[in-house]
Amino acid sequence: MDDHRTPSQPDPAENPALQPILIHDKSLPGKIGEGSEARDVLDQQILVLGAQLVNQLHILLKTIRIHERTNAAVNQVVDATVTTVKTLARDNPVVIRLQNDFLYLGDAHLKMGPQQVAIFLEFIDSLNARGIAAISFSAEMRETDLREFAYQFISVDPATCTFDDLKRQLKEGEIHGIDIEEATSLMVRVGQKNKQLKNLAKQLYVKAVGAVGEVLQSIREGRAPNFRRAKRVVQSIVDVILQDEPTLLGLTTLRCYDEYTHNHSVNVSLLSVALGNRAGYPREALVDLGLAALFHDLGKASIPQDILNKSEEFTDEDWAKLRIHATLGVINLIRLRGLTNLPGRMAAAAFEHHLNYDLSGYPTLSMPWEVSLTGRILMVADCYDSMTSSRVYRRDPIAPNKVLTMMFAKSGILYDPVLLKLFVNCVGIIPIGCLTLLDSHELAVVIRPSANRQTATRPYVKLISDRSGRPIEGPEVDLAEKDADGRFKRSVVRLVDNTEYRFDTGRYFA
């Protein structure tokens, strides 16, 4: 998302974010035990207030762009924001932190509801544009401090001013109780590799492939499948994605051609959970989504293996047989529903995943239909993985960056445009798994998107050949890294079509 989206005119008087809020007894967290139910409720309320604070800051920055500092609309939003800060900030300041394109309140991930996606993204863009990783507000902050801060924030032109310029202006403006932290120190933290988590991710991937295989086999043999194992794996997958999304998404580039359906199901599940997370799904809903995605092609269990494994081009008749897997998936799930507590969205996902955003896909519908959010997420994840994979009935996969370009050409037609934009944040503009040639003459594989949207074309890469073309098990480098003169140390010259050279970048994630 760009910083130049058309802003909607805020109307503070009508905005619920500015209505009076519940004031907590600030000593409550000290009185309620960790892990208790009451503490969970309190934590949730604090997160709601955190999201409210982001809303209020967003409105404040917009309002102050239009009005004078002392305008009544500005006063109203300033008062509301100060009340939220004083509610949240106790002995320590309240910190809104940006990490890896997510907003945090302290250490807690701030989830955005569907209505807040645009607000959060715009706020994240405005922080990124100014190189800000965190803003902290202490309880001592006064209305005048916040008003002045907002004014300085919007007066800084991100194109010409640096983080230090803004910091200096804040100091000169004698603004108390508000501080900003620069983004670079955080990027280093994000770049640190967590070996343990990486190993866990690999184990989970293998377990998930096993769980899909087990369920599909049960259906083929007419036995009632057990989804409990799959659910446990998906729960762990969601936990890992919430901690380190790129590590798990990197695994989607692993290709195991014999088990296309199993691998594809796991990849679609990982990509869907990552996208659902960006779309603001809470943890439990992410587990349901991941499970629905894992079994979106369940109907294929009822398609003859000789069609699924056919190596030559499909005939029209083959396609017709294959297409009914979307309906067979629902039939399979409905047949099994009495045996398990599967949510209805699993059946919906199986039915909707080939419908397309404009309903031009299959099954053909004879009645009006509104595709569920889960279905729209699946359409994006399913197509991306299908096109980037090598599969039995279309041997040549397409390079990830080309797939994204193709998908964007159909944005709003085949794919939900908002979800597609969020999806690029998951895989990166130069997506994970791409093979790149650097200006240093080294070859490198993209392993995770840039931590900062301003440097979206500078992902983290792993070097795989040196300047003279010798293969190396090179280090991971951040392409946004600069030398002492402020020049980028390495840049992508061009993307190399790894599929053209039948070069499997997946092994760099193994």
Residues that bind Fe ion (CB under 5 A): 297, 382
Helix count and strand count (H, E) for the chain: 19, 10
Cβ closest to Fe ion, residue 50 vs residue 299 = 299
Q: Is 107 exposed, middle or buried (0-12, 13-18, 19+ CB in 10 A)?
A: exposed
Cβ closest to Fe ion, residue 124 vs residue 254 = 254
Give the contacts of 440 (CB within 8 A, at least 6 positions apart).
467, 489, 490
Cβ closest to Fe ion, residue 207 vs residue 296 = 296
Omega prior to 363 cis, within 30 of 0: yes
Cβ closest to Fe ion, residue 183 vs residue 291 = 291
Give the shortest CB-354-to-Fe ion separation in angstroms.
6
Q: Pull the structure tokens for residue 151.
A: 């004014």
Give the shortest CB-350-to-Fe ion separation in angstroms.
8
Q: Is 91 exposed, middle or buried (0-12, 13-18, 19+ CB in 10 A)?
A: exposed
> What phi and psi values does residue 244 have, to the nearest 5 degrees?
-150, 85
Cβ closest to Fe ion, residue 87 vs residue 252 = 252
Give the shortest CB-4-to-Fe ion separation in angstroms.
36
Q: Are 463 and 442 in contact (CB under 8 A)?
A: yes
Cβ closest to Fe ion, residue 101 vs residue 382 = 382
- In the chain, the amino acid numbered 189 is R
Cβ closest to Fe ion, residue 265 vs residue 450 = 265
Side by side, the strands of the sheet bearing 492-496 are: 476-478, 460-465, 443-448, 435-438, 492-496
Cβ closest to Fe ion, residue 63 vs residue 269 = 269
Cβ closest to Fe ion, residue 153 vs residue 295 = 295
Give the shortest CB-505-to-Fe ion separation in angstroms.
22
Q: Are 71 and 5 in contact (CB under 8 A)?
A: no
Give the shortest CB-124-to-Fe ion separation in angstroms.
31
Counted residue by residue, the chain has a size of 510
Distances (CA, A) of 301 to 215, 252, 262, 394: 9, 22, 11, 20
Instruction: Say how far apart CA 369 and CA 383 lie, in whole Å.
Output: 21
Buried b / exposed e along 19-43 (16+ C-beta atoms within 10 A): eebeeeeeeeeeebeeeeeeeeebe
User: Smallest Cα–Cα separation from 62: which of 19, 17, 8?
Assistant: 8
Give the shortest CB-378-to-Fe ion separation in angstroms.
8
Give the shortest CB-355-to-Fe ion separation in angstroms.
11
Give the shortest CB-431-to-Fe ion separation in angstroms.
18
> What phi and psi values does residue 44 have, to the nearest 5 degrees?
-60, -40
